[in-house]
Structure 1
């Protein structure tokens, strides 16, 4: 069965940063059939409610929010000036058992002249309640003051109603309904009268639609509003009617309409299989009718590789096998299952990293190793190198000295021409066109156009999907670009999600959700493509991947190596687990009930200042409308990348956000390794090319620690103090057969000072060419520098070229070890099959 329909879950992860293995899912267990349920929540009373101010008791009410069932907040009435308010009010929700339903109960103090105060929020996992049960619970909010919230729950199965869902065990796509709202004129009051209607369905893709009748409103379809929403959610159609007498379709009361609250029609109270009249005025009727929406998904839910990448790997293995036979001087051809997967990963560093990467790839090509590589991953400015190379569909089969000469001309020339009047007009035109196409523009788009002008002499219309031509015969390694998705008011350390870009797909490692690269930036809802927006030129993606303007103050604190504990006192909310009485039986995938108390105004202001990012790239969120599976926290693939403070708070994750907020990965960990470590890619050898400034070991230390905490197979990268003080050109880290072999290349000027080529010493006149300062503050290769002298460009290029060539023996030994591992594993599997 394809993994897009899987509902099995393998491991559970508890906590935020630590991973615990659970028992594997038993293949003989029967998967629970998803069904719809009717949840009744009765808010009974509170005891000893805390004061919001010193002058009086709290004017208390309770808000209920269950976004998986309804985007409408419900609330009790307000009980004024009372320490022990009593409500006894019941609320009803239709829920899907397959999704994670977290009910938020927020206790508020109503104020007359100022915004209402939120005192606390209780987050309760509805999975604790079994169908057919009525449960009376007391939530202990403050045991010392005996503050309690008393609530009653009743959960009942809804019979004879089913819903088709598609899930990968982490995300769930539900049925979508298509609602058509039509306004018909039944008589004309005046030829010059215009009547304006506003319709809204909260939680729908469209949100709000306006319809007008009268002069200049005769366009076909202008009297119709369309909405797409989750079929079994409790959606309301809110209608704002023009002034005149009207009555509701399900009421005989006739009223005179003025400026008032909108008319709300609960859609689940109507039989929408037929056309239904929901409002009628003296001169118009309002009808609604519902149809099933899109059946098939336009995104891929699954953690496996897409079919195009699997096909590429099959083709690439033939190229790799031939290359390995030559460089390792093997006597026999390698079988497909004996061919190791080799990846090149990089670190960021502005023009320094772009230039250095050209030098490293040139050396790998000279060694014959470039054809042994199946993946190249990049971040920040190394994506400039990759994007430049992949404009040529056969770049790795040609001499790279040509592209190097071209990039040299661009790096050494003045960048002032990028600010000429002609260029500025071009930038303005491109950004206006991008906005008209439907993209959300930002300063990073201007930055992307500037990068494009730095690296090209003329307009470049290349797109990410165009790079598929460079892969159709397996002739080049597959490029993988990396970015981070972040949230407002959270530091990157607290919230970030890995997003990978390939010529085939763009997607989240954590959620197993991918869209075609040509569809990235378009508008999606519940996994369906709603509005196709033209694919971005790759220069705009380069501006996103290398967004040097996205660093927050908290990011700088983290990267500087200082403790963030003090700052987290101000930037993290106050949350604690609480008990409910009586204690309910534990279920394997339920979440603990927790209490959240909001910070004060001063803390919130400081949090905004410390976590605010000057500029982020906004793209339409293709996860919008998808919901989290009830057992998502137990899914092994989710656990692998689960490392944010919101992972156990599904209502606050990204499925409801309109936009993704993408930033430069280097402001968290300066490495492009994460997508290469996806288990499905089965990478055996990693050549990690480090081009960062400052500490050459910090990115390795940070990522090694990250992998250890996440349980990601990665070799131990321990270095002695002597090695840290006197770095070599290459380090080999090898643990066991589960973790890939890692070759780490720091950006150092070790033996290069005395040797211009391996085993070729410099003459006295050539010693100056070996003095390359890549570490001091005064070095001519600072991350912010965009222009180099030709001499400095050549020095850096030659240094990185030499560091690869001088370690040929280590590279070939790692490749040989990887081949031997694959052959041993293949032999072991063959013997096992014979025994069976």
Structure 2
């Protein structure tokens, strides 16, 4: 239904009021808990396949099966290849030790090993949770057409002692083991060949360890003695093995060129040593055979990493944010008393939580947010705000403001004048020789610190130049001073974690940065902001890198250019490219009646090679901000999909493929959150933040209600309370400045006051209730934001002074012209808190 709300300034402002059902949410523990969980022994027998269409028109298939269970083994197993038959029979058994707490999904992939190389015929994902303890399960899996794969599973108790784990109900962390490896000497080293100059290289590697392959060199070969130490951080539950290769390199000197050229490299010895049974805290001497009577003397010592995790596993707010909320309520209570002309200062429990959401939109969004904040400040409402959440261009405004620890308590004219100076200045200097030299040095320094460097980092430095931050060394943690006393709203900066080869429409996880933490609310996993970009493994900080400065983060938050070709076309065309669906692998659910706690078994039929090439061309993302994944080494809980805090997508979404979710990735790919929803509603709507009123500022071009409609879809999908958004087309054709969406009967649903970017009455009023009279005033107010030659294009980074002033004044006016609406909503919010 619709309701007209009259004010003394604006003749009629539309307020849209809707009702929605109050759906109870499941209660789920917010913090981690410590558990002792047993191991199980799993055997997988690959029996046979039938009716396989492999080979070519002259021959039958040469088939084998690959087994991948990344929660139990760091290596994939493989059957032998059965040649020239479409009905191969293997009868091979593979054994795993699995963890009972984690989600174990076995991938069985059928390959044809033809003369041109292996070809994937089909793949199936099987949830080990379907197998009953102490029982065997013989199953025939339907692949494509009439093809079948027969497999037998058996699950038994394991004699190994139980494993201690930490879990928040979605992620599982286990003890990390540090193995110190001392290579003492090689016995009976043998030389192969007759090279002039010969040296030994020794390669040490542990599959699945945090550390990469480590290589050491020694010349000459006689009695090679190393006495070198190496360290590997491992997950002992994955049956890791230390692999050592002794490599001989022979070189010959070419006199005519006076250079040394490599002639021959060969492995002259190899061996491996299991690590999962190493006792903790004891030195273990090992003589490892390398073949041909060669051996290497090792000293191994396994140590448990420090007990406390460095990754915070919890869906609750961080303690500093909770402390801020207590302090901020005092400021908000006093501000509400003044704004609403109350007789008494309201009690803390009656103080509503109000959040400002600024959308993306480049310099247009940054400039507009300055204007909106100025309007709120002039109405003495800025001190009523608890949170400020930004996307893309809005974060550029926020990150500038929070360099001043008391910015919201000072006149906004100062920051606006500074922004005007930068926005109206020519941008040619950003590509000057001096600036380019600075960019290169800054990127080299970041790389030397051990952090990833991408195109996004260069973009961040360019933004730094746009905003005249010069060589800004400010860190996000410096903003803690701006919220420590509760004196300003709490800032939250949004981005999106995506995959490098998947559209953000199909996979995107909200990522948030605050002055205290960075993290993924979907998994309930956070790290101190000082450690964002450092290297983690199994929940522990392994290598600490310097904190990333805000300049680089600004590029990450506003990296809209990281779009892939599919996303660009969808934005241009306005609809999804449905023909792209035909290029993806076909996925078929083969057991629709499985229990809710188990994944449905899915058969994957790979796309044709040409289709795959075309798909990769459209979905590959080359310019996302890559940073080390602090979830690496953590696993998903066996009940993760049933945990209400886990923001699961649709049934066919990657969220139902645990082996391919973020904990299994080495890198995070962070892009502009505008690829999902161009306003960070999902972060403001976290139930722990208990936001009562949202001041939504949409600075986007195009549909003024797009962010609301997309948010509504997101909330319906994830069972998040949100008012119904059902706006008739006629409202979009004749925009008002302010819309209110609420549910009067359900206090759990926040009220949204939405401000689209529109010039509705500003063209006729220079201030609320004050009409424009002179021609100059009328000209100043008469401009169209959506004009074809509009100066406010998203790709426009330089405004004239007049264009900047008009955009700031427009947004300031739109807020102030709806003061009565805002005050009415705040009064209602306080009443609902009672």
List alignment gaps of at least 5 residues for structure 1: 1-19, 245-256, 824-836
Moved more, 635-644 or 288-297: 635-644
Q: Distance in 1 between matches of 2:28 and 2:432?
A: 62
Please state how far the C-alpha of 1:376 moved relative to its aligned partner.
0.4
Change (3 A) 1:560 1:424: closer
Structure 2 residue corresponding to 1:286, chosen from 283, 287, 298: 298
Equivalent position SS for 2:366: helix
Please state how far the C-alpha of 1:696 moved relative to its aligned partner.
1.8
Structure 2 residue corresponding to 1:801, chosen from 808, 812, 820: 812
Moved more, 221-230 or 657-666: 221-230
Change (3 A) 1:216 1:791: farther
Residue-pair matches, total:
782
CA contact 1:354–1:381 (8 Å) conserved in 2:
yes
Q: Distance in 2 between matches of 1:605 and 1:316?
A: 54
Q: Distance in 2 between matches of 1:124 and 1:347?
A: 42
- Is the counterpart of residue 751 in structure 1 residue 761 in structure 2? yes
CA contact 1:52–1:117 (8 Å) conserved in 2:
no
Change (3 A) 1:21 1:125: farther
- Is the counterpart of residue 692 in structure 1 residue 694 in structure 2? no
Q: Distance in 2 between matches of 1:552 and 1:186?
A: 52
CA contact 1:490–1:571 (8 Å) conserved in 2:
no
Q: Distance in 2 between matches of 1:221 and 1:355?
A: 62
Moved more, 464-473 or 635-644: 635-644
Q: 1:214-259 CA deviation, whole Å, 9 max, x = no partner?
A: 5799xx9971221111121121222102459xxxxxxxxxxxx963
Please state how far the C-alpha of 1:268 moved relative to its aligned partner.
3.9
Change (3 A) 1:52 1:338: farther
Please state how far the C-alpha of 1:278 moved relative to its aligned partner.
4.3
**Residue 340 of structure 2 aligns with which residue?**
328
After TM superposition, the structure 1 = structure 2 runs for residues 448-459 of structure 1, keeping only pairs within 5 Å, are: 448-456=460-468, 458-459=470-471
Please state how far the C-alpha of 1:667 moved relative to its aligned partner.
2.4
CA contact 1:461–1:537 (8 Å) conserved in 2:
yes
Equivalent position SS for 1:782: coil
Change (3 A) 1:428 1:796: same
Structure 1 residue corresponding to 2:553, chosen from 541, 563, 574: 541
Moved more, 564-573 or 399-408: 564-573
CA contact 1:132–1:154 (8 Å) conserved in 2:
yes
**Residue 178 of structure 1 aligns with which residue?**
178
CA contact 2:46–2:90 (8 Å) conserved in 1:
yes
What is the CA RMSD across the aligned residues, in angstroms?
2.7
Please state how far the C-alpha of 1:170 moved relative to its aligned partner.
0.3
- Is the counterpart of residue 420 in structure 1 residue 432 in structure 2? yes
Q: Distance in 1 between matches of 2:580 and 2:160?
A: 50
Change (3 A) 1:720 1:36: same
Structure 1 residue corresponding to 2:446, chosen from 426, 434, 455: 434
After TM superposition, the structure 1 = structure 2 runs for residues 329-408 of structure 1, keeping only pairs within 5 Å, are: 329-408=341-420
- Is the counterpart of residue 223 in structure 1 residue 228 in structure 2? yes
Q: Distance in 1 between matches of 2:200 and 2:358?
A: 61
TM (norm. structure 1) is 0.89
Equivalent position SS for 1:291: strand
Please state how far the C-alpha of 1:488 moved relative to its aligned partner.
2.2
Change (3 A) 1:199 1:187: closer
Q: Distance in 2 between matches of 1:23 and 1:598?
A: 38
Q: 1:561-617 CA deviation, whole Å, 9 max, x = no partner?
A: 74426234234321111249xx9xx54411111101111111111111111234110
CA contact 2:198–2:248 (8 Å) conserved in 1:
no
CA contact 1:278–1:288 (8 Å) conserved in 2:
no
**Residue 123 of structure 2 aligns with which residue?**
121
Structure 1 residue corresponding to 2:771, chosen from 742, 748, 761: 761
CA contact 1:68–1:233 (8 Å) conserved in 2:
yes
Please state how far the C-alpha of 1:527 moved relative to its aligned partner.
0.5
List alignment gaps of at least 5 residues for structure 2: 1-22, 192-196, 250-264
Structure 1 residue corresponding to 2:781, chosen from 750, 767, 770: 770
**Residue 211 of structure 1 aligns with which residue?**
216
Q: 1:139-194 CA deviation, whole Å, 9 max, x = no partner?
A: 1224x52x22111111111135121111100000112122222211378999x975
CA contact 2:333–2:345 (8 Å) conserved in 1:
yes
Q: Distance in 2 between matches of 1:518 and 1:175?
A: 24
- Is the counterpart of residue 726 in structure 1 residue 734 in structure 2? yes
Q: Distance in 2 between matches of 1:497 and 1:207?
A: 28
Q: Distance in 2 between matches of 1:383 and 1:500?
A: 12
Q: 1:722-770 CA deviation, whole Å, 9 max, x = no partner?
A: 2111000000111131211000001111111110000001112310111
After TM superposition, the structure 1 = structure 2 runs for residues 504-515 of structure 1, keeping only pairs within 5 Å, are: 504-515=516-527
**Residue 257 of structure 2 aligns with which residue?**
none
**Residue 829 of structure 1 aligns with which residue?**
none
After TM superposition, the structure 1 = structure 2 runs for residues 484-563 of structure 1, keeping only pairs within 5 Å, are: 484-560=496-572, 562-563=574-575
Equivalent position SS for 1:320: helix
**Residue 249 of structure 1 aligns with which residue?**
none
Structure 2 residue corresponding to 1:781, chosen from 792, 803, 808: 792
Equivalent position SS for 1:149: strand
Q: Distance in 2 between matches of 1:227 and 1:597?
A: 38
Q: Distance in 1 between matches of 2:244 and 2:516?
A: 43
**Residue 662 of structure 1 aligns with which residue?**
670
Structure 2 residue corresponding to 1:810, chosen from 801, 806, 821: 821
Equivalent position SS for 1:180: strand
Q: Distance in 1 between matches of 2:153 and 2:785?
A: 65
Equivalent position SS for 1:737: coil
Please state how far the C-alpha of 1:699 moved relative to its aligned partner.
2.3
Q: 1:377-432 CA deviation, whole Å, 9 max, x = no partner?
A: 10111111000000001100111101111111111111111111111111111111
**Residue 235 of structure 1 aligns with which residue?**
240
Q: Distance in 2 between matches of 1:216 and 1:678?
A: 63
- Is the counterpart of residue 40 in structure 1 residue 43 in structure 2? yes
Please state how far the C-alpha of 1:119 moved relative to its aligned partner.
0.7
Change (3 A) 1:138 1:366: same
Please state how far the C-alpha of 1:265 moved relative to its aligned partner.
3.2
Equivalent position SS for 1:164: strand
Q: Distance in 2 between matches of 1:283 and 1:208?
A: 20
Which structure has the highest strand share of the two?
A: 2
Change (3 A) 1:270 1:403: closer
Q: 1:319-373 CA deviation, whole Å, 9 max, x = no partner?
A: 0000001100111221111110000001111111111110000110111110000
**Residue 253 of structure 1 aligns with which residue?**
none
Structure 1 residue corresponding to 2:725, chosen from 717, 726, 736: 717
Please state how far the C-alpha of 1:530 moved relative to its aligned partner.
0.5
Equivalent position SS for 2:237: coil
**Residue 633 of structure 1 aligns with which residue?**
641
- Is the counterpart of residue 165 in structure 1 residue 165 in structure 2? yes
Structure 1 residue corresponding to 2:680, chosen from 660, 669, 672: 672
CA contact 1:527–1:626 (8 Å) conserved in 2:
yes
Please state how far the C-alpha of 1:781 moved relative to its aligned partner.
0.8
Q: 1:631-677 CA deviation, whole Å, 9 max, x = no partner?
A: 00000010466787210000011112111001111123211211000
CA contact 2:137–2:153 (8 Å) conserved in 1:
yes
Change (3 A) 1:593 1:760: same
CA contact 1:510–1:642 (8 Å) conserved in 2:
no
Please state how far the C-alpha of 1:523 moved relative to its aligned partner.
0.4
- Is the counterpart of residue 465 in structure 1 residue 468 in structure 2? no
- Is the counterpart of residue 87 in structure 1 residue 90 in structure 2? yes
CA contact 1:640–1:712 (8 Å) conserved in 2:
no
Change (3 A) 1:349 1:507: same
Q: Distance in 1 between matches of 2:614 and 2:764?
A: 53
Q: Distance in 2 between matches of 1:413 and 1:26?
A: 52
**Residue 251 of structure 1 aligns with which residue?**
none
**Residue 252 of structure 2 aligns with which residue?**
none
Equivalent position SS for 2:365: helix
Change (3 A) 1:635 1:283: closer
- Is the counterpart of residue 573 in structure 1 residue 581 in structure 2? no
Change (3 A) 1:107 1:769: same
Q: Distance in 2 between matches of 1:599 and 1:497?
A: 26
Change (3 A) 1:154 1:361: same
Q: 1:60-119 CA deviation, whole Å, 9 max, x = no partner?
A: 11111100011101001010011211111111111101000000111111123x230011
CA contact 1:758–1:802 (8 Å) conserved in 2:
yes
Change (3 A) 1:579 1:102: same
Moved more, 34-43 or 60-69: 34-43
Q: Distance in 2 between matches of 1:81 and 1:160?
A: 42
Please state how far the C-alpha of 1:292 moved relative to its aligned partner.
2.2
**Residue 630 of structure 2 aligns with which residue?**
622
